[in-house]
Structure 1
């Protein structure tokens, strides 16, 4: 994975430690480097934030970002248990950090470290939810909150197990009640999320390196297109759309049929439709409203004829 190109990189001296951030491809070297970057004092942070806010100073933005890269590394460690590469977690957290720097207001009296934590976690959360499983386990805001808090509370329950043995995988009734009370969610939502945790992903199609004689799960799924009733239904629809439609048109008088054909079936060479209500009204010497009434009555008669054929 390539290192992120920060906006201040071009303005920094090669000897400046701020510019010495290696690629995330070497994770240990990256973490070691960002932990050596100097921290900003409160006054320096306010000064840089004001320069960014008032003058769009990219060098100031870069210094604010670089001084908080260690915060992203620290927060990313909380999510390594999801089985995702820490380098990817850091990369996503860095995106959140840059969003925070862009929106940071030094006049609010809050340090950037406190403000940026929310943005960093939000980006990491989004990445985890998109990549933890092939199928999303949490989509609504409430489900996302439950997803992360439930995993944390399950680890707490396991640590508090008195017997010292491996804790059971599912929650007990008492633990479900505790989670429901502390998170203010319904028991049913907790049970559903617990079920999603327990389930795994199954690839429908066999991988390229699988046994040639193995049968992939997709082979057991029925093809609804070949289901007998679907075939009969499709054949009947083709019949109604062809000969059936012609028989329904034959049931109309000449004027009604021409109005329907011009309004619904006629297509010009340029792709445009047939005559408008006003065109037909001028031809037959009646009002456009009268043409519309004839059209409605004709379509109703055709619909009855098609139903009778079905």
Structure 2
């Protein structure tokens, strides 16, 4: 059943509590009994259900659950190819899809998309269900519904797709973490569960669990608003440094150092300036080796090294008189 085929209801109707769609919840006969609650999301945020989705939820809440015998008889007829029986199996199990889909909120897909994907899994399960085996349909269909939703999350909710086996392992880790969080909340403790606690519960190495949990992190938009000190008006992009931007203080310091270096080099003789310029690539020159300088200047390699040391000592003394260490230049 598609959400888009349901007409929107009046905006004055109260939102529906998804807790009413738990597997053991009973359908409510009247909209007046619906409490005005908000839809919980795993990251702590609250959003109002859209009118189309509210209309869909109200519609399927009016459909009663099938008794075991009714389910068996309908499933047998559906397996025999009866279209009306297949439609009845879908209609009477849409609440099961919602009860499963709401557990996947906050992972990158909205509730409406989760329900749509879960409904596809439900229809696939109806085609494969064998009622004569004696299992309840809800038990059998739950696996297909989860598979359909998880596959959609893998392909649609992530910028980078994960292999199917990684998704399965990640879902196991997330399920264990949610169970530990629920247990901690019931005991009045901290709901935040550490990776090492999840690893201990699963009996897996901490490194593997930490790596899998890293896959669960969803990317954030650089346009996301950031509220610092309650001021607001900023986005994450405003807080990212521009590596190509010119630092005014750094530029000024660089100019001052260049002036001091030029002043220090002016105190050297021509040969000393040439050796330092060649060795350190000054004045936009390419650095040269001792051998290259020795050939070009007609001196020995050792003599070039001596001139370099003498010139550096002179330059160092000149720089120190201005409070600048040689390391700041070379």
Deviation at residue 129 of structure 1 after TM alignment:
1.7
User: Are residues 1:178 and 2:200 paired?
Assistant: yes
Indicate the residue corresponding to 2:248 in structure 1.
none
User: Do residues 103 (structure 1) and 125 (structure 2) align?
Assistant: no
Greater per-residue helix proportion: 1
Taking the TM superposition and a 5 Å limit, the aligned residue runs for 1:137-148 are 138-141=162-165, 143-148=166-171
Residue equivalent to 2:5: 3
> Does the 8 A contact of 1:39 with 1:67 survive in 2?
yes
Match of 1:194 in 2: 213
What secondary structure is seen at the aligned counterpart in 2 of 1:87?
helix
Question: Does structure 2 conserve the Cα–Cα contact (< 8 Å) formed by 1:150 and 1:179?
Answer: no
Please show how residues 21-36 of structure 1 align to structure 2 within 5 Å: 26-36=52-62
Structure label with greater radius of gyration: 2
Scaled by the length of structure 2, what TM-score is found?
0.48
Structure 1: how far apart are the matches of 2:132 and 2:191? 51
Q: Which residue of 2 aligns with 1:42?
A: 68
| Cα distance change on mapping 1:109 and 1:197 into 2, 3 Å | closer
Residue from 144, 152, 160 that aligns with 1:127:
152
Given candidates 55, 77, 101, the residue that maps to 1:51 is 77
Q: Provide the C-alpha distance between the structure 2 equivalents of 1:41 and 1:57, rounded to a whole number of angstroms.
A: 19
For residues 130-169 of structure 1, what are the structure 2 equivalents within 5 Å? Answer: 130-136=155-161, 138-141=162-165, 143-158=166-181, 160=184, 167=192
Moved more, 95-104 or 39-48: 39-48
TM-score (norm 1): 0.50
1:62–1:165 CA distance, 2 compared to 1 (3 A): closer
CA distance in 2, matches of 1:114, 1:156: 20
Alignment of 1:70-81 (within 5 A): 70-81=95-106
Displaced runs of 4 or more, over 4 A: 156-159, 161-166
**Partners in 1 of 2:138 and 2:53 — Cα distance?**
22
1:58 Cα deviation after fit: 0.7
Aligned counterpart in structure 2 of residue 118 of structure 1, from 143, 155, 173 = 143
- Number of residue pairs the alignment of both structures matches: 186
CA distance in 2, matches of 1:2, 1:178: 44
Give the CA deviation at 1:74.
Answer: 1.0
Deviations 1:64-114 (A, max 9, x none): 110101111111111113242111111111101111111111211112111
Contact 1:100–1:119 (Cα < 8 Å) also in 2: yes
Cα deviations across residues 97-145 of structure 1 (Å, max 9, x unaligned)? 1111111112111121111111111101111222332112x4142x223
Compute the RMSD of aligned alpha carbons: 3.6
Equivalent positions of 1:230-309 (< 5 A) are none
Alignment match, 1:286: none
List gaps (5 residues or longer) in structure 1.
5-23, 204-210, 221-310
Establish whether residue 94 from structure 1 lines up as the match of residue 96 from structure 2: no
Residue 34 of structure 1: how far off its partner (Å): 0.5
Q: Which runs of 5+ in 2 are unaligned?
A: 7-49, 223-234, 245-330
